[in-house]
Amino acid sequence: VVRALFLGFGHVGRRLAEILTRRERYPGLAALDLSVVAITTGRHGALANPSGIDLASALRAFDPEHLDHPDRTALASLDAVRGLDYDVLVEMTPLAIRARGEPAITHVREALLRGRHVVTCNKGPVAWAYEPLARLARERGCAFLFESTVMDGAPVFNLARHGLRGDTIERLAGILNSTTNVVLCALEEGLTLDEALARARALGVAEADPSDDLEGWDAAVKVAALGNVLLGGPLLPEEVERESLASVPPERVREAAARGRRIKMDCEAWREGGRLRGRVAARELPLDDPFALVAGTGSILRLTTALLGKLSLVEENPDLTTTAYGVLSDLLSLPGPPR
């Protein structure tokens, strides 16, 4: 049995727990023998039980009327990472752009230092600290996996790791931010920016404060994560050129549509003059471009490789289950206990 420590029990953590409580519906998960020994949150306390927490009751335990769960503890996240006995840290805390990926980077580093595997859906550690964390994981013989950090659970990193042996990725491009894509589709339909943002919020993809999405920060963090892993890095989010969607007037979107063209936020990374470059920018595309066909919350990633040529991965209508699946696929990829 793999003993997991969950940090964060929000949208992704809860969906993961829901899937695990209904495991019999998913024959592909039969090989996953997982016991969750602790769950910590930011402001809602923690649960811990070395014999394994009952996940159905854990899903109710953070409601105000159910705070009397028998596994309740005052354990803080970093103390859990440093002190508890577990095989894999599952990092599901929020992306902290201003704090440049912390405290998630510290959580990941401390777990690896103890010889524990790490699975994360938080892109901060991959964007700001990939190289040192990957090196530490290699030194300690641990897995450091992060499939859900970009394109939810679509196998982006697994594709590169297992499906492109002997090839070299030279360039990547994609539509990687749901909020800006939903907003652009809505503007094209004639909605105002506020109405377009309300639609993105109603779909659950935009935060109350969507500025990180609109200003291209979320996309820049994804470009850095992809650049670090697929193009050999290093690329920091701050080094990715960003164009804000706020600088694209709604009239420009509608005027392009009237000419049979479509504006999309394009994310790119490529090697130039010995260094890695990244860019998030609005681009006008013909309607038959595969990027122009990516609607709503969908996403696309095109890899340009030395031998296979151009290969694209398209994701349609992802939801929380898609993200939780990425975490599950990482958990199923873990080697045996490293210690």
Ligand X SMILES: NC(=O)c1ccc[n+]([C@@H]2O[C@H](COP(=O)([O-])OP(=O)(O)OC[C@H]3O[C@@H](n4cnc5c(N)ncnc54)[C@H](OP(=O)(O)O)[C@@H]3O)[C@@H](O)[C@H]2O)c1
Task: Give catalytic residue positions.
Answer: 222
Judged by CB under 6 A, which stretch of 36-44, 180-188, 192-200, 303-311 contacts ligand X? 36-44
Q: What does the alpha-carbon distance between residue 205 and residue 107 come to, in Å, rounded to a whole number?
A: 26
Using CB atoms, what's the residue nearest to ligand X?
10
152 binds ligand X (CB under 6 A): yes
One-letter amino acid at 239 equals E
**Residue from 5, 16, 122, 331 binding ligand X (CB under 6 A):** 122
Question: Shortest gap between Cβ of 261 and ligand X (angstroms)?
Answer: 30
12 binds ligand X (CB under 6 A): yes
Question: Shortest gap between Cβ of 130 and ligand X (angstroms)?
Answer: 15
Nearest to 10 by CA among 92, 121, 95: 92
3-state DSSP assignment of residue 82: helix
CB nearer ligand X, residue 305 or residue 323: 323
228 binds ligand X (CB under 6 A): no
Question: Shortest gap between Cβ of 168 and ligand X (angstroms)?
Answer: 27
**Residue from 20, 95, 183, 303 binding ligand X (CB under 6 A):** 95
At 222, which helix (H) or strand (E)? Answer: helix 217-230
35 with 2: CB under 8 angstroms? yes
41 binds ligand X (CB under 6 A): yes
Judged by CB under 6 A, which stretch of 5-13, 19-27, 240-248, 279-287 contacts ligand X? 5-13
**Residue from 5, 55, 81, 92 binding ligand X (CB under 6 A):** 92
Question: Shortest gap between Cβ of 149 and ligand X (angstroms)?
Answer: 6
Nearest to 221 by CA among 328, 100, 137, 54: 100
Collect all residues with Cβ–Cβ distance below 8 Å to 241 and sequence separation of at least 6: 277, 278, 279, 280, 281
* Per-residue CA distances from 242 to 67, 148, 214, 225, 278 (Å): 44, 23, 10, 15, 9
Question: Shortest gap between Cβ of 7 and ligand X (angstroms)?
Answer: 4
**Residue from 5, 16, 93, 229 binding ligand X (CB under 6 A):** 93
179 binds ligand X (CB under 6 A): no
Q: What does the alpha-carbon distance between residue 320 and residue 11 come to, in Å, rounded to a whole number?
A: 7
Judged by CB under 6 A, which stretch of 49-57, 90-98, 255-263, 306-314 contacts ligand X? 90-98
Nearest to 280 by CA among 330, 194, 230, 218: 218
9 binds ligand X (CB under 6 A): yes
Total number of residues binding ligand X (CB under 6 A)? 24
5 binds ligand X (CB under 6 A): no
43 binds ligand X (CB under 6 A): yes
Q: What does the alpha-carbon distance between residue 72 and residue 273 come to, in Å, rounded to a whole number?
A: 55
Q: What does the alpha-carbon distance between residue 126 and residue 231 come to, in Å, rounded to a whole number?
A: 13
Question: Shortest gap between Cβ of 92 and ligand X (angstroms)?
Answer: 5
3-state DSSP assignment of residue 266: strand
